[in-house]
A and B are shown apart, each in its own frame.
Chain A
Amino acid sequence: MECDAFREDLLDVLYGEADPATAHRFNEHQAECAACREEIASFRRLRHDLDGWAVAPKRRLAFPARLRPARWLAAAAGLVAAIGGATVLAKGEIRYPSGQVLLRLAAPAEDAAELRRLLAEQQARHEQAIADLKATAVRPAAAQASLDQEALLAEVRRLLKESETRQAAAFAAGLSGLEERSQAQRRVDMAQMSAGLSYLEGKTGLQTARTTELMGKVLLASQGGR
């Protein structure tokens, strides 16, 4: 039907996703189609009604601590800020020759020594705190996942190797057992065959004797009958 062909266009126009060509095509159609004009108007009223579904304010989600940023990172940031701030206040500077942090303070000599000592003590305390926190912090997820995967792969390889070794041993043992069982079965079969032949031989001899006896009786009867 003609209007069915415009159904997707109608939805594009209804939700404001129609490109200019689509909008033009649908507008030309609805200019001549009262049913489609009413249809889109009705859907617009419906959308207005649907807005009436109010939702209560939502609470934020609470996630386990391991999903939150590591606390030692915040502590480290605090330490850097503290040292930087103290250095600036003392009109000093921070340099990093050959990987080591050096503080140069521009305060008077007697104050500078005291300040340097205080800073060194503070830095030692913060470094100890960071080391403690690092020891208890969870590794970042990707690094942990990588370690987990490596450990898992190693475990799978070990299990595979053990399985192959067991199978090879079982196969060898199976071959050996099979040969022994075949020999034993062969001996049993030969014995049975021998016993069977002996039985047949015995039975044949008995039947011959009985036949001879019967033939003798038949012969006697026939002679007596004459």
Chain B
Amino acid sequence: MRLSDEELVEAFQQGDSSAFDQLVSRWDRKIQGAIYRMVGSGEEARDLCQEAFLKAYRGLSGFKKEARFSSWLYQIAVNVCRDRMRRQRGKTVVSLDELTNAGELPFKGTAPSALELMEAGDLSRTVAAAVASLPDEQREVIVLKEYQDLTFLEIAEALDVPVSTVKTRLYRGLTQLRQRLTRQGIRSATPIPAPTH
């Protein structure tokens, strides 16, 4: 029978250290993926992911059952990324070589479709650069929602903010991404005029 995360946490707190291994094997790929999309470097994501799980290991004895384990774990991962951002502030976060001085990707003079970009292997880099150029708060929400598929409530728990704040950040992030990708000429993200009611 597959134990829930919370049951494994309880087993760990009662002295079964192998329960933590199960939690790691259950969550390490997802957490590593989230960290990668937040910091942009594969090797660094792996180190930060390990750091996040070590922090989880040290803190698990005091984990309160009011929160979901997954939200708690994502909170640790986000904090590890934020610490790293603070340390690296001003340095390149992701491969942003293509960005202009204004922080935008240079316009290439053509308007390729998303399919054409993907076939050329450019879409992935274009999207990565656009997400990396978002403010930290918006990038966190975009990553947790778009790529981790968390609910609004889970994101709110992980970031320790109200759900309404999560939605505000998400809306602004989506709007900015749409603008940035449109400047890259990705036609499927063509913007529409803002509502004028």
Q: Which residues of A contact B (CB under 8 A)?
A: 1-4, 7-8, 11-12, 15, 17, 33, 35-36, 38-39, 41-43, 45-50, 52-56, 58-63, 67-70, 73, 140-143, 145
- In the complex, what distance in Å separates the CA atom of A59 from the CA atom of B21? 16
Contacts of A68 in B (CB 8 A): 18, 21
**B142-197 residues at the A interface, CB under 8 angstroms:** 142, 145-147, 151-152, 164, 167, 170-171, 174, 177-178, 181, 186, 188-197
- In the complex, what distance in Å separates the CA atom of A173 from the CA atom of B9? 55
The interface residues of chain B, by DSSP majority, are classed as: helix
Contacts of A3 in B (CB 8 A): 195, 197
Contacts of A54 in B (CB 8 A): 124
Closest to A15 in B: B145
Number of interface residues, chain B, beta carbon within 8 A: 59
With A2-B197, A33-B197, A63-B50 in contact, do A55 and B13 touch (Cβ < 8 Å)? no
The interface residues of chain A, by DSSP majority, are classed as: helix
Top 3 A-B residue pairs of the complex, sorted by shortest distance between their CB atoms: A69-B18, A3-B195, A52-B123
8 Å CB contact of B146 from A50, A58, A61: A50
Return A107 CB to nearest CB of chain B, in Å.
Answer: 37
Q: At the interface, yes or no: B131 with Cβ under 8 Å from chain A?
A: yes
Contacts of B167 in A (CB 8 A): 7-8, 11
- In the complex, what distance in Å separates the CA atom of A70 from the CA atom of B128? 41
With A2-B197, A58-B33 in contact, do A53 and B15 touch (Cβ < 8 Å)? no
Return B3 CB to nearest CB of chain A, in Å.
Answer: 15
8 Å CB contact of B46 from A42, A59, A140: A59
